[in-house]
């Protein structure tokens, strides 16, 4: 309900703030006011406040650069932000306000790239779906691109990789890459025939549906210093999977640290405990020269093919402990440079509390954004 003559406004008018600014309104209060307006989704009011005094504009710029992102689709762009994990659309209706705000956007999430609102400088670019060759000139206009995230279907990834390999797309300033891939796509990037320049910080979400039939010839990546791999296993943890993972991670010869997250939902087999032992044996015998943090979450149907108590007792015999409830187990252990946290939970008692898609979570990044 809009404010009445007897009710206070949702936030002070720019003229009121200007009067206050003459009395040196503290910077933290200006930022609080700017964010309050952002939470209400009033982009035009943010711009009015920014232009109301010299102390206001730097705060406006900081808030836009830090908290506002642009979502681009065909011939349209929407400015959005988050408040308490809820999406807030920033209503910026005046053309001048749009152009001023877009100048300071540092986070672009694109389903389709249009040149109408470009150029944008020093951005973090997220691409959904892929790019074809018609976007190459626009892509290269992001001369200050340092952070790239993509979630391509395989045929579009081929187009993108071909443009990079042919030298038509330059990624010379890239310092962080985050990608969702299937195994075949990762092999294309790591192949000796690829010239994709992996940066110092790489995060990969890998959906592994089967053992890769042939890894082929893989190159090494001495420039990558920090690696995050989130691996969703559809086939369980077999010796073949662990062997291939060792080959892949050893290609990153310049690593100073790595984080690996395994997740697996499966039915327990008769050799369930044997696979657990095999996983620990692999960690014990794999000599990483850099610190590796391994988190492994298994959601298993433990009442098949035999009583779950048998598996529970086996797990306890090698150090697993109950984790909150009797059907959840956890083991934390150090194997040389490997710090392990392994959780095994019975599917029948599991309650998933996450979101449908946590790919863009800053937990996957070494330098999370200041939200």
**pLDDT tens-digit profile of 16-27?**
554 444 446 788
The answer to the question of residue 139 being in a domain is: no
Please state, as a whole number, how many other Cβ atoms lie within 10 Å of the Cβ of residue 70: 20
Q: pLDDT tens digit string along 325-353?
A: 888 899 999 999 999 999 988 876 555 45
Q: How many CA atoms lie within 13 Å of 136's alpha carbon, on the beta-carbon side?
A: 16
What's the pLDDT at 327? 84
What's the pLDDT at 133? 66
In the DSSP assignment, the letter for residue 42 is: B
- Average pLDDT value for the chain: 79
Q: How many residues does the chain have?
A: 371
In this prediction the pTM is: 0.75
CA distance 181 to 193: 18
In the chain the first and final C-alpha atoms are separated, in Å, by 29
Using the predicted structure, report yes or no on whether residue 360 has a pLDDT greater than 70: no
Domain with 294, as residue range(s), is 184-352+361-371
Dihedral (Cα; 315, 318, 320, 326), 10-degree rounding: 40
The answer to the question of residue 256 being in a domain is: yes
How many domains does one find in the chain? 1
CA distance 281 to 279: 5
The answer to the question of residue 73 being in a domain is: no
The answer to the question of residue 18 being in a domain is: no
State how far Cα 291 lies from the chain centre: 21
What's the pLDDT at 99? 85
The answer to the question of residue 163 being in a domain is: no
What's the pLDDT at 260? 93
Q: Which residue has the tokens 């035999």?
A: 306
329 contacts 323 by C-beta, under 8 angstroms:
yes
The answer to the question of residue 345 being in a domain is: yes
The answer to the question of residue 253 being in a domain is: yes
The answer to the question of residue 288 being in a domain is: yes
- Identity of the highest mean pLDDT range in 100-114, 162-176, 209-223, 323-337: 323-337
Exposure pattern of 157-169 as b/e (b: 16+ CB <10 Å)?
A: bebbbebbeeeeb
């Amino acid at each position: 309900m809009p404010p009445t003559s007897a009710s206070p406004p949702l936030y002070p008018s720019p003229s009121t703030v200007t009067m206050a600014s003459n009395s040196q309104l503290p910077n933290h209060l200006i930022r609080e006011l700017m964010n309050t307006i952002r939470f209400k989704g009033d982009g035009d009011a943010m711009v009015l406040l920014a232009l109301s005094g010299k102390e206001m504009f730097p705060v406006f710029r900081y808030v836009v650069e830090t908290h506002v992102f642009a979502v681009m689709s065909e011939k349209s762009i929407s400015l959005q932000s988050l408040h308490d994990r809820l999406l807030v659309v920033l209503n910026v209706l005046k053309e001048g306000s749009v152009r001023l705000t877009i100048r300071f956007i540092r986070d672009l999430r694109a389903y389709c790239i249009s040149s109408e609102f470009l150029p944008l400088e020093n951005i973090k670019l997220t691409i959904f779906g892929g790019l074809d060759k018609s976007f190459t000139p626009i892509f290269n206009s992001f001369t200050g691109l340092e952070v790239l995230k993509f979630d391509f279907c395989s045929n579009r990834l081929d187009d993108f990789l071909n443009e990079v390999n042919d030298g038509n797309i330059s990624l010379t300033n890239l310092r962080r890459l985050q990608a969702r891939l299937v195994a075949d796509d990762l092999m294309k990037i790591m192949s000796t025939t690829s010239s994709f320049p992996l940066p110092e910080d790489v995060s990969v979400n890998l959906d592994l549906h089967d053992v890769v039939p042939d890894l082929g010839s893989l190159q090494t990546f001495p420039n990558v210093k920090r690696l995050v791999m989130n691996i969703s296993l559809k086939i369980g943890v077999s010796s073949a999977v662990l062997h291939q993972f060792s080959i892949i991670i050893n290609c990153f010869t310049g690593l100073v640290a790595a984080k690996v997250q395994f997740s697996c939902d499966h039915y327990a087999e008769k050799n369930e405990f044997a696979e657990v032992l095999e996983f620990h044996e692999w960690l014990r015998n794999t000599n990483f020269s850099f610190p590796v943090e391994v988190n492994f979450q298994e959601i298993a149907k433990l009442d098949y093919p035999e009583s779950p108590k048998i598996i529970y007792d086996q797990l306890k015999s090698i150090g697993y402990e109950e984790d909150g409830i009797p059907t959840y187990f956890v083991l934390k252990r150090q194997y040389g440079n490997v710090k392990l946290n392994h959780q095994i939970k019975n599917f029948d008692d599991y309650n998933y509390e996450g979101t449908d898609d946590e790919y863009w979570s800053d937990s996957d990044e070494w330098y999370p954004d200041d939200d």
